[in-house]
Every structure is written in structure tokens, then in C-alpha cells.
Amino acid sequence: MHQSMCRIQRGPFVYYTCRRLPVRHAFTTKFGGVSTGHCESLNLGFNRGDTEENVRENYRRLAEALGVPDARWTLTKQIHETGVSVVEEEQAGMGLHQPMAWQSDAIVTALPDTPLIGFYADCVVTLLYDPATHTAGVCHSGWRGMAAGILPKTVAVMEQKLGTKRDSLIAVLGPSIRQECFETDADVPEAMERQLGALVQPYIMEKGPKFHVDLQGIGVKLLQDAGLAPENVIDSGICTMCHADEFWSHRATHGLRGVQGGVICL
């Protein structure tokens, strides 16, 4: 685990934060909610076989624990592509307290008291914050989104739409499946190489007929190439599959699971 990451236990809640982010934020774990069965207990996904009542209560309790407004939770609709949406006042509460109107794997904002959340159960969720302009974002990337460049695209949208400064922007890549556990067939590294070229080659390890991909290493490289200072790009160092006792891992559970959230709120 990176030295700036902190494991927080507050009552039934267990979540992780990063000392480099001076705003309310969290990478949640399984713990702190009311869900049962394979979604026990802090499931934040409405499409995992949980009841809507349980999921809404989980959000309410999480809002209380983090000190963020429950009525302004703003969610992403993740489809493993590169859409980035700017959250303005009329979108605050999207996905929880008003209908979802976008399909975006990243959402960014300059609004205060508007918690943004992206979801993970092996994929990389990155929290972004610029102290110079007080702007923030959350970006979800599986291997497809990473290969398609959603992280640098999110940075570009924050710069263009919110005035974010690349040289002061901080990015924290959250708990996610790491190279030692992310085993794939040849189609995944081949597809990534087609989109990113030689950049990805140092992050792909061949083991017999299988390949292991370092998604976090690729993400760090893409963010640094996008103009972020090396010291402002933090890889949490936490593997969801290795720590399946605390985190839902899609691979560890063969898809029978709840979902965690990466949260940031100005």
C-alpha cells in the first residue's frame, strides 16, 4: 500500500483515504451497510441483485459517515467507454435522486457539496482533485477504457471545462486488480497495444500461454504523459483480488458480488 494511503475504521465502516487529497473522499470496502447475502453489506450498485431499499439506505449511511449531502449523490453510468460528463447544478443528484441522463465513465465538477461516485470491483477508479482551482472528478477504467485513454481525456475535459491546472492536479488510483492477479489471454494485451502502441509493452508480462497486465502502471504513465507531476500521481498499491476479504473482486467471486465506490466531494 502506498505510504499516503490510510485505512479508516469508523464504527461499522471501513474505507481508505489518501493524505494527498484535502477534501472529503473515500474508497469504500464491503463494510458499513445493510445489504445481505452476496451483497453484504455496503453494496452501492443497483444492478447486483440487491433490493433498492437496501442500496438507498447504504448511500444514506455512507453520506452520514463521510459528512456529505445524501440528496446530492451524483453517479456515473459506466459502460467501459470514454465519455466524460461535467456535473452542473441541474445534474446534482443524478442516478440516485433523479433519473440518470448520461452514460459516462467519468464525471467532473466544480460544485461544492456534490459527492461524485464511480464504482469498482477490480476496475481502476481514479479520484482527481486540483487545489489550485478547487475542481474534482472521478474516473472509472477497466482495460478497455484505459486503452482508449479515458484518464488523459478526463484531465483534458477538466482543463477545458473547469479551468483545472494540470501541474497542480492530483490523481489517486484506487484499489483494483493488480498485475499479479490480472491474468488474461493474448487478446487483451493485443487490443491495448493496437490503441496505445509501445507504451504498454513494459506493463505486460507473459507467463506461458497467459499474460498479466499492469493497469495501474499504464494509468500512472498516461497521467504523467498528460502533464501531471510524477509526485501528484498516486497508485494506492491495493489489490482487490488479493484482499477479497475486504473488497469485492469480480474475479474472486466469479461475478456474484456487490460493488464498491470511489467518492470525492468538494
DSSP string, 76-90: ----SS--EEEE-GG
- What does DSSP say about strands 74-75 and 116-120: parallel, antiparallel, or unpaired? parallel
Query: Residue 152's pLDDT band (boundaries 50, 70, 90)?
Result: very high
In the chain, what are the domains? 5-265 (3.60.140.10)
Range 63-71, long-range pairs (CB < 8 A, 24+ positions): 63/115, 65/10, 65/11, 65/13, 65/32, 66/24, 66/26, 66/115, 66/263, 66/265, 67/24, 68/24, 68/113, 68/115, 68/263, 68/265, 69/113, 69/114, 69/115, 71/97
Contact indicator for 265, 107 with CB cutoff of 8 Å: no
Distance CA 14, CA 234 (A): 20
Distance CA 17, CA 8 (A): 7
Instruction: Give the DSSP H/E element, type plus range, for residue 53.
Output: helix 52-66
Residue 223 burial by Cβ neighbours in a 10 Å radius (0-12, 13-18, 19+): buried
| Beta bridge mates, 87 | 109
C-alpha cell at 9: 475504521
| φ, ψ (nearest 5 deg) of residue 90 | -70, -15
* Residue labelled with grid coordinates 479520484: 127
Distance CA 138, CA 156 (A): 13
Average pLDDT over residues 25-42: 98
pLDDT at position 40 is: 97
Q: What is the CA radius of gyration of the chain?
A: 17
Contact indicator for 87, 266 with CB cutoff of 8 Å: no
pLDDT in tens, 196-253: 999 999 999 999 999 999 999 999 999 999 999 999 999 999 999 999 999 999 999 9
Query: Residue 33's pLDDT band (boundaries 50, 70, 90)?
Result: very high
pLDDT in tens, 51-73: 999 999 999 999 999 999 999 99
What proportion of the chain, given as a percentage, has pLDDT over 70?
A: 100
- Amino acid sitting at position 132: A
User: Model-level pTM greater than 0.85?
Assistant: yes
* CA 146-155-79 angle, 5° bins: 40
Contact indicator for 238, 20 with CB cutoff of 8 Å: no
Query: Residue 32's pLDDT band (boundaries 50, 70, 90)?
Result: very high
